[in-house]
Structure 1
Amino acid sequence: MEKRRVAILISGRGSNMTALIEAAKAEDFPAGIVLVISNIAGAGGLTKAAESGIETATIESKPFGKDREAFERKLHETLVAHNIELVCLAGFLRLLTPWFVTRWDGRMLNIHPALLPSYRGLHTHERALADGVKIHGATVHFVVPEMDSGPIIMQGAVAVLDGDTPETLAARVLGVEHRIYPDALRLVAGGGTRIENGQCKTEASGSPDDTLISPAII
């Protein structure tokens, strides 16, 4: 099986990157992680990637100042030079311009710590708790020029508990992220998705009982 060549873009410790790398070690996984790029020198995830035998690169965004497109041209050139087919954002702390996003349309994935389209942007857990929601979670989606708005590939949810803090909720959501990001990449890389009218369609089924109710009355 020929694996799709994947690059992961990071800015920090890369916990979702690690989940993707571990999943991609399976022989039947349809994608291979061949490159990890950070826009911040010394990001913790670079060491983790190198320890897994994956090529790493640093393209610092700071020297480019406000010229976001110039930074992205360098990033794009590096991806093309490595024959990258799919890009996964994993804690990549940059807002990407339409110039870059359109070049990777349908080939760039991101994970967001909320059930989109709710809670786009930052501080998702604090906002969810402030609203008193009973179910929260994470979303893997294709990247489009508008932030946190691309076609949704996969979502995972957790129950929100009365005693939750942003930290405890974030920890449980992170566990869901580490499950759904590799699964979403498997789906996309394996040809199991298609875009129709701005929505991601797939033949994959839902959870076994198709429900998550919170709070559950036992």
Structure 2
Amino acid sequence: MILMVVSTGKFRHLPVVDNGEVIALLDIAKCLYDAIARMERAAEKGKAIAAAVEGVEKNWGTSVSGPNTFIEALRERMFRPSLSTIISENLKVVTVSPSETVLAVAKKMLEFRSSSAVVVVENKPRGILTSKDILMRVIAQSLSPDATFVEKVMTPNPECATIDTPIVDALHTMHDGKFLHLPVVDRGNLYMEVISYTYVCVGDPANF
């Protein structure tokens, strides 16, 4: 139920309230990873996928009413072989140069409704800038967005996946590295697009 609410609402965090007071903040990334880990562990032990789904739902208090439930969709996406099976040809990606200002990039991100921009040189990823980077490395440091160049605040040499990378491996990479966006390159190491943790699980890249 919680994952359905967050997915439908297209937000990453959900306040937990007790008697009208906020006592915690739930992060969808952790919820999704926990669900994936449970299903993966069950599969490794040779159990049926249905048993893994049942275990996840029992712990989270959700209920399966048919084949099109959120957990069923999540399970189907997780165990497809590679990223090439879920990458959308129509996914709009923001690409920028290292010499652009943060303000210019932020405007592009707003235009494309994207939470990240990939910094490319000769069509190869050289860095990544996310909305979190802008908040923590620019705004919080009292830097001027229109006078700060992307190369000064981007994450350089980001870890990348290929279209042949297994979906579960891509999720583990993002979880272990504590980041939510992963550039994807083709077999020639040329930049293709960027996927988010939530997009891989839910299938909607907007607003994440």
Q: Same fold (TM over 0.5)?
A: no
TM range (shorter): under 0.3
State TM-score, norm by structure 1.
0.23
* Greater C-alpha Rg: 2
Greater helix proportion: 2
State TM-score, norm by structure 2.
0.24
